[in-house]
Amino acid sequence: MRNRYAFVGGNSGRWRIASLRPVRGEVLPHVRCVDVVPVDAMQSGRPAGWVLTGQISNVRYAKRAELTVLGAKQEALGRPRASRAALIPIKKSPEWWDLAQDERREIFEEQSRHTAIGLEYLPGVARQLYHCRDLGEPFDFLTWFEYAPEHADAFEHLVDRLRSTKEWAFVEREVDIRLELAV
């Protein structure tokens, strides 16, 4: 399945878990490591504490002008110096999903400045969004970030700012998993 990835929490993997904590709602079971694997390449029967699956998809809110600015400033995943990562699965409320497109956009950007805030932390923090609501998964999104240790404070700041927005009032489940490259 093109662009579909599994986040496998278990005893081994490329990323070692530094912390795993609930932000809102039920937390995930504690495991030692996380691996990110294309679903097509996943071994069946691999032992795992949990598996979260997400799909890279088209943008839902960003306007062309925003995509142009983001494209000029953001960097890809997998940079050698980016030895820190965060996996933050998020589920929004039924009230969010019942909103019309213009209402969600208004809250997401005009009120919460989601894209604009993220832009301030580029290129230090690289990001990738995985969609999973329509896959019948327990979360709606898997948000993934990679950064070098010297950007760890900036990343905390980014996360704090987003969590204080109006958009986050619609988040009903969130788990915060911090990772370090297992070397």
Residues that bind a copy of itself (CB under 8 A): 1-2, 4, 55, 57-64, 66-67, 97-103, 105, 131, 133-136
* Residue 110 C-beta: closest distance to a copy of itself, Å: 13
CB closer to a copy of itself, 133 vs 157? 133
Residue written as tokens 């999973």? 132
* Residue 167 C-beta: closest distance to a copy of itself, Å: 15
* Residue 104 C-beta: closest distance to a copy of itself, Å: 8
CB closer to a copy of itself, 19 vs 101? 101
Sorted by sequence, the CB contacts under 8 Å of residue 36 that are 6+ apart come out as 5, 6, 7, 8, 14, 15, 144
CB closer to a copy of itself, 129 vs 182? 129
Residue 98 burial (10 A CB sphere; 0-12, 13-18, 19+): exposed
Q: How far apart are CA 19 and CA 177, in angstroms?
A: 6
CB closer to a copy of itself, 134 vs 153? 134
* Residue 63 C-beta: closest distance to a copy of itself, Å: 4
* Residue 97 C-beta: closest distance to a copy of itself, Å: 5
Q: How far apart are CA 101 and CA 9, in angstroms?
A: 34
Query: Is the separation of the CB atoms in 171 and 112 below 8 Å?
Result: no
Sorted by sequence, the CB contacts under 8 Å of residue 130 that are 6+ apart come out as 5, 54, 55, 56, 141, 142, 143, 144
CB closer to a copy of itself, 105 vs 113? 105
